Amino acid sequence: MVEVGTQAPAFAVPKAGGTSYNDIEPFTLSEAIGDGPIVLAFYPAAFTGGCTEEMCAFRDSMDRFNEIDAQVYGISVDLPFSQNVWIQEADLNFPMLSDWNHEVIRQYDVGLEDVYGMFETAERSIFVLDSEGTAQLNPQTARE
């Protein structure tokens, strides 16, 4: 688990912007750092009830994130094409990051193995990074 006060692991993944099925561009955490706080909201799977509800809560709170210049990113192991369709269907107003090769969920120690005894997804987890990329909140501290 990424500990509060430590530098968040760097990563590069595809980013789904949601304007069309193929609205995909590269995302590198190190390039996003410095533009204000970053919220990484890991979720198990697009199109599921709980994940849709969670991401819609972020959508509905986006004004509050904008007030503090926070960048919000959902992140899952879904392919970016699926994430784009989901963004459109759920009317989400922030991008999704595709960790299709499962490297980021392992770096952040939020992998859920053997879901339905068949595959690995992301555990529902939120990390808040400051403008230097230092973790200010992680799932462990959020529970305390």
Q: Is 131 exposed, middle or buried (0-12, 13-18, 19+ CB in 10 A)?
A: middle
Assign 86 a pLDDT band (cuts: 50, 70, 90): very high
Number of domains in the chain: 1
Could you give the residue numbers annotated as active site? 51
The mean per-residue pLDDT over the stretch 95-111 comes to 95
The model carries a pTM of 0.92
pLDDT in tens, 23-80: 999 999 999 999 889 999 999 999 988 899 999 999 999 999 999 999 999 999 999 9
Nearest to 18 by CA among 78, 65, 64, 82: 82
Residue 120: predicted pLDDT: 87
Dist CA 141 CA 144 (whole Å): 5
CATH number of the domain where residue 58 is located? 3.40.30.10
Does 2 map to a domain? no
Please give the DSSP secondary-structure letter assigned to residue 117. T
Q: Is residue 6 part of a domain?
A: no
Please, which pLDDT band fits residue 142 given cuts at 50, 70 and 90?
low
Q: Residue 94: which domain range?
A: 12-143
Cα 80 from Cα 95, distance rounded (Å)? 10
